[in-house]
Structure 1
Amino acid sequence: MGNSPARAVTDLLNPFTVFTALYAAAALSLSGLPGALLYLVAELLAAASVAGCVLLLRHRGLAGNFWLSGRAERPLPAAFLLAAFAALLTVLVVLDAPGELLRLTLSMGLASAAVALLTLRWKVSAHCTVAGHAAAAGLLVFGAWGLPFAALLPVVIWARLALGAHTPAQALAGAGTGAGAALMLMI
């Protein structure tokens, strides 16, 4: 199972890469190259800080794998993630980023917060949350050009189910939470 196609999809289409791709595309389309690079550096620093938190937890034996498969492993990194989203939003406001980029970031942060709260009681797929958000937000921001983001969603759901990482309900709850947050704030 370690080298399966589902594992490769899970590793490639992870929450960090999917959100960063959507964010970078939105930043570029909304603000041009100089602004987009500045906004992207801010997002990459936020993502790197969250990844660093998870790696530190793994190093200390407090997390079994990078994707935090155990529900009990998720609260501290989730709190760190939410703080990183708050910091990123603050930077975007200070930099006078386009409103649509702010709403994109805020909606992903709110979806993350909702999933973090749900996961205190019931494990929800973070992979599917971000893919659901990217599907809806990609279509809202880019119209038909957002179809590649929408096409990722069924692939991510398949991979999470094929690995046995989530039940169909957990995958769909994540996807619906992500898409719902995008629809609430991006329309």
Structure 2
Amino acid sequence: MTVRTDTPPAATTPPATGSVWAKVLSEVFAPWVIVIALSGAVAWRATGEPLPTLGWGLLIAVTSSVLPMGVIVWGARRGRWDGHHVRDRTGRLVPFLTLIVLSALCLGLLLWWDAPRMVVALDLAMLAALLVSGLITAWWKVSMHAAVAAGAVVILAVAYTAWLLPLLGVAALVSWSRVRLGDHTVAQVTVGTVLGIVVGGGVFVLAL
């Protein structure tokens, strides 16, 4: 008589629908994705021509999104921090410094090459938001998802039309996703949203 010693695999519980949507929102509207789209949108509004839009948009996108994200992914794969969203506050120092240095370099290039004022204003707005959020992160974790999403809506509304302001509802959903996934508290996404609107949007307006 053969005695079975194997045990059936443990049943897995499928993730709740809300958690699935939260993950989708967090990835689709991740800061690096929004920055790429925002760079192109503002460059188009500033120039209205394909080639200048491509040039200025790529410059900001590469320095403020692609290269920093490359550093983050590289560090995550080597265990320097806990994933590409860098959930651990103490692990955000290097990504923040990378972003600030590259954004400052981009600003210098934009001024040197006499970029359109609106494009310069965008880089200034992002750099200011990074500096403020970086200072806050030294002692408290603020949501960059919320800050970038809310700030992008305000910047687009200023650049194009106030009719885009209802997109703040999408930013609210992004904030909900961060709380739902347990990566941030309500307070952290609220402060991030205010930071994006006041600092990001405010500096963009003042720089125009």
Shorter-chain TM band: over 0.9
Which structure dedicates a bigger proportion of its chain to helix?
A: 1
How does the TM-score come out when normalised to structure 2? 0.84
Match of 2:198 in 1: 180
Report whether the alignment pairs 1:44 with 2:61.
yes
Q: Separation in 2 of the partners of 1:45 and 1:104?
A: 14
Kindly report structure 1 stretches of 4+ aligned residues shifted beyond 2 Å.
Answer: 144-152
Question: How many corresponding residue pairs?
Answer: 187
1:54 equivalent in alignment to 2:65 = no
The structure 2 residue matched to 1:69, chosen from 75, 79, 87, is: 87
The normalised TM-score by structure 1 is 0.92
- Percent identity, aligned pairs only, is 26
Q: Is the 8 A contact 1:7 1:159 kept in 2?
A: yes
Q: Residue 84 of structure 1: SS of its match in structure 2?
A: helix
Unaligned runs of 5+ in 2: 1-14
Deviation of residue 175 (structure 1)? 0.9
Checking the alignment, whether the CA contact within 8 Å between 1:89 and 1:106 is kept in structure 2 is yes
* CA distance in 2: counterparts of 1:98 and 1:90, whole angstroms: 13
Distance 1:14 1:87, change over 3 A: same
Candidates 184, 188, 196, aligned match of 1:170: 188
Partner of 2:7: none
Find the aligned partners of 2:145 and 2:137 in 1 and give their Cα distance: 13
Amino acid at match of 1:183: G
Q: Are residues 118 and 88 of structure 1, via their aligned partners in 2, closer, same or farther at CA, if it must alter by over 3 Å?
A: same
Work out whether 1:118 is the aligned partner of 2:127. Answer: no
**Distance of aligned partners of 1:91 and 1:151 in 2 relative to their CA distance in 1, 3 Å threshold:** farther
Aligned pairs for 1:114-153 within 5 A: 114-144=132-162, 146-147=164-165, 149-153=167-171
Over aligned residue pairs, what C-alpha RMSD do you find? 1.7
Q: Which secondary structure does the structure 1 equivalent of 2:83 belong to?
A: coil
Larger radius of gyration: 2
CA distance in 1, matches of 2:98, 2:36: 17
Provide the residue aligned with 1:84 in structure 2: 102
Gaps of 5+ in 1: none
Letter of the 2:202 counterpart? L
Report the AA paired with residue 205 of structure 2: M
Aligned CA distance change for structure 1 residues 112 and 121 (closer, same or farther; 3 Å): same
